[in-house]
Chains A and B, each alone.
Chain A
Amino acid sequence: MDFDITQCTRCGLRLFPTRYFCPACGGSEWTRRSVEAGTVMESTVVRHRAGEQESFPLHLATVRTNEGPVVIARLDAPVPDGTHVRLEIDDAHCIIAIAC
């Protein structure tokens, strides 16, 4: 499933996550734009998480979407910075990046 970012109808600013009013022009009407892909800016592997004794390594990436806004997404495996990824959202509302 694709996911959306919002674009201010008045000034065109693209934002994620959504806002009520546009920080650039004050507009409050939005167009939704589907996000399909992006580029990994940097990544990390989380080895220990709060409240979990038995943690499994979790790969996360900061991804610049082709639409502009930056999202944090889960990776299946580590990838180098600059990797192009397809972006999806799963049933648990988790953004997933898949190396192209």
Chain B
Amino acid sequence: MSSTDFERVFITTGVEVPYSRQPVTGSTGELLAQAFGLLLAESGFSAKDIDGLGVASFTLGPDHAIDLAWRLGLSPRWCMDDCHGGASGINLLQHAIRAIQHGDANVIALVSGDHFQASDFRNLVENYNLTTRSWLSPLRNGGPNSVFAMLTRRHAKQHGLARADYGAICVAQRKWASLNPKAVYRTPMSLEDYLAASLVADPLGRFDCVPVVNGANAILITREDLARDAKKVRVRALKCLYNADHQMGDGLETSLKAIAADLWREAGMRPEDVDLVSVYDDYPVMVIAQLCDLGFAADGDVRALIARTASRLLPVNTSGGQLSVGQAGAAGGMHGLVEAITQLQGKAGDRQVDSARLAVVSGYGMVEYRYGMCANAVVLERI
């Protein structure tokens, strides 16, 4: 049995504290507080109205969600820590909707973000989980680039793709980023620039790997009758599935593959009905894999899918994605969600997709050993 009812709840606001390549002054907590402040300013709610808080962060420790709630002056009736990395935004959203539907909270703020010093990032990648600490760090592999390099090799072999095919995704996203004043990397990039960049872990070059940045995102979710902003967004369907193959596969399919049919059926639509897509883009290979898993290449023609993405016939990661905006740790799991909300509310400025009404957003992440364990997706609709 699964609940397909996402009624009586609206997303009213999504915000982003501009990402920054250099360490910013202050701490992770201060960045999250900044996101919370932006959320209040944009939504029109006061801190007194917020009775639920969900937090995703790798570097907030030793604090947790409840410590942040205290520092924000909140007395939440619902409070949740999330640690699903690139899947955390949609995971939090799933729980927050149920909390509101069942009266545990009325107005929930979801915040995510990270602030890294150089040592923080190294510590994170070497101690990501017990498996990493025991079996990857002793190789001195330097983090996930090496495992996704080998995953990209498997994918290229399976689909007969070359570096330029993955590059087309990076170039397309950079083109979107050039229209996003908040993107860290906005200078247009040609395929030649992409191919000429130094290799990080063959076949991955510098532009295949997300730049690590500092930043935060936040989303406000409220009971239907309390929503103030006229531009509301609702959830038509949301599905999560973790450990679909228990790391016994090749990582070329995410668990989106298993949930896509139910997702579209429950949303009452097909992939071709959406106006834009946000997929979690830690590497271009995962953009392609998730688009395929979600059904955007139903005929199996991956090259045609890449061409549609490059030409913007299918608008994918319209902020420029993490590949151009940067990966602010756990905020990466909310970045695509915030971009989709921004687009659906018609607030995307120069990169606005015309009359955007429907979007699909996916999350992916938490590499246990050879690839991510978690994937989830949500179909959003502007009201």
Contact = CB atoms under 8 A, between A and B. Distances in A.
B41 interface: no
Nearest to A47: B199
Interface string B74-105: 00000000000000000000000000000000
Interface residues of A, number: 30
Contact of A49 (B143, B153, B154): B143
Contacts of A50: 121-122, 125, 142-143, 212
Contacts of B134: 17, 93
Contacts of A58: 139-142, 146
A77 interface: no
A41 B249 CA distance: 13
Contacts of B200: 46-48
A46 B121 contact: no
A83 to B, nearest CB: 14
A72 interface: yes
A17 B135 CA distance: 8
A42 B203 CA distance: 11
Contact of B142 (A41, A48, A62, A69): A48
Q: Which residue of A47, A52, A92, A93 has the most chain B CB atoms within 10 A of its CB atom?
A: A47
Query: Which residue among B135, B149, B157, B198 has the maximum number of chain A CB atoms within 10 Å of its CB?
Result: B135
- Chain B contact-residue range equals 35 or more
A23 B246 contact: yes
A43 B157 CA distance: 13
A72 B153 contact: no
B61 interface: no
Contacts of A94: 138-140
Nearest to A69: B248
Contacts of B146: 44, 46, 58, 60, 72
Given A47-B200, A58-B141, A17 B154 contact: no
A15 to B, nearest CB: 8
Contacts of A92: 138
A60 B143 contact: no
Interface in A81-100: 92-95
Q: Give the 5 A-B CB pairs with smallest separation, nearest first.
A: A49-B142, A51-B122, A44-B149, A94-B138, A23-B246
Nearest to B145: A46
B21 to A, nearest CB: 14
